[in-house]
Structure 1
């Protein structure tokens, strides 16, 4: 009888111990859902620096901003922090009709859309001597872009080509360059686009300056009148499981050190601009925002 009692106590101790360890692990994990164009920045720079600074564990998930928003709304994915490449994405998560996942967000950085190309591509020389829109229409060129329905970059790509068609008086430029909006020969997940270009699977693609600068990808800047850029936003999701950890991550990214890391990776750092319910912003986050606005 005594042996059975001791065994039962041991089992219960193991169960409670495991639960305590799991809870402790959850308390240190900060789940950050972010735009796929920031993979290198987040995984190799911001994440490690945040962990070193706070002792917390950065857990990142990268994908197209709209795709992430759809997964949040569909309750397919939960996170603590959400970083989007377009303010419009946040509106799809705001209000009771949209699940009330977001009450506020901060615009904190920008990154222009460029045409990046593989320096080993047989078309690389052409990008140095011809107009970029002519090169993109060369027979055999493998062009990559993201889905305009799932990723702001994909929508920006269509917008850029539409503006170019008007500026260059070429009504069929979009169709000849991109084909259909969801052209399966071009449309790829945002988080895989850079890797496919670097591996030689693509000759060229549409990228933000943070990607081309960070990874030393040769790039073409469209004419000033065609300039289109991502506007990165940051928020703590209302159903965050680790709100304290999320607050510390936001504070870090908006701090002088975090902003320095952003600039080092080719992001145009801007003064934080708050949208939405100011009252819902944690006081420590508001203090960091105020300091960055000086």
Structure 2
């Protein structure tokens, strides 16, 4: 068992979404831990919005075809999704967050009615700068991609339309702030964050997570900050960033930890490597189906699909009360998550 959060393998292979949908049942047939008997009822999965393509095009259909349960997925910024649960606007069987801290701060503890008591880490990603292939700044972005020009100099050009998500509602939103703050130190460019982003919640740049991708793909934006797996799934060109600022590498966890953001509700989030978690909240209505989904999502075949969509491998570590993890899921645990 691994005692702490360790490094990841990187997988960047793109796949045909259509082909994956057509062959989903083949890819997952006999997946490790898959339910042998056909299940009944709906399994409601509320997940981080950046996972919409992999969940709706591959994982969800495959789970449904393999297990017999009816998959019902919905994606939002993780903080917004957690608040939906807390405010009784959603009652999912499964909650998948893009940041472990969303569980701890928004859903765990007596102050949050113990809506979540445990979670498992299972996949990870990094932040990148994506750009529209027909942007009038394309040449600059291509030069930055080839390391011939600093990416932040391209973003500083007059007329640049940059998009990002709300740091009050989405981990990617506050991680974007961390990215630019880390870049100030890494490139020795004080004032870079203010110059390129303005205020943390600059309304000119802020868009809901699904809308941000739509605006990027339609050409309404020149560039945006995304997770690497998002732009791979949507086949958008992008610029990889150093591990010191892209928040992907556990080796730099201490560096990331120096960045913080306090939301409009007074919740303070601390920088950490990008890590997705899965849990069964106490809003669960179909416990057997929820357990089946977690087993399915943690199977080797499902994890391989996450990798094909540009996500990265991560150890399966438990956070919260390990004794509250359903018995049927404990064999997957490889250690304890230590933020």
Q: TM-score, normalised by structure 2?
A: 0.76
- Deviation beyond 3 Å, 4+ runs, structure 1: none
Q: Which runs of 5+ in 2 are unaligned?
A: 1-38, 144-148, 249-273, 335-339
Name which of 62, 73, 98 aligns with 1:49.
62
1:174 aligns with 2:193: yes
1:272 aligns with 2:286: no
Checking the alignment, whether the CA contact within 8 Å between 2:40 and 2:68 is kept in structure 1 is no
If you compute each CA radius of gyration, which structure gives the higher value, 1 or 2? Answer: 1
- Equivalent in 77, 83, 86 of residue 70 of structure 1: 83
- Map of 1:138 onto structure 2: 157
**Does the CA contact (< 8 Å) of 2:40 and 2:70 recur in 1?**
no
Contact 1:106 1:272 in 2 (8 A): yes
Which structure's residues are more often helix, by fraction? 1
1:254–1:289 CA contact under 8 A, matched in 2: no
RMSD between superposed Cα atoms in Å: 1.6
**Which residue is 2:9 aligned to?**
none
The partner residue of 2:219 within 195, 200, 206 is: 200
Task: Give CA deviations for 1:194-239 in whole Å, capped at 9, x if unaligned.
Answer: 2211111111101111112222211111223223142100000122
Counterpart of 1:281 in structure 2 is 325
Q: Is the 8 A contact 1:32 1:60 kept in 2?
A: yes
- From 163, 168, 171, the counterpart of 1:152: 171
Give distance in 2, aligned partners of 1:133 and 1:63: 28
Secondary structure of the structure 2 residue equivalent to 1:207: strand
Shift of residue 289, structure 1, vs aligned partner: 3.9
Question: Is 1:105 aligned with 2:124?
Answer: no
User: How far is the alpha carbon of 1:72 from its aligned partner?
Assistant: 1.1
1:162 aligns with 181
Q: Does the 8 A contact of 2:131 with 2:222 survive in 1? A: yes
TM-score of the pair, normalised by structure 1: 0.87
Ranges in structure 1 where 5+ consecutive residues have no aligned partner: 1-25
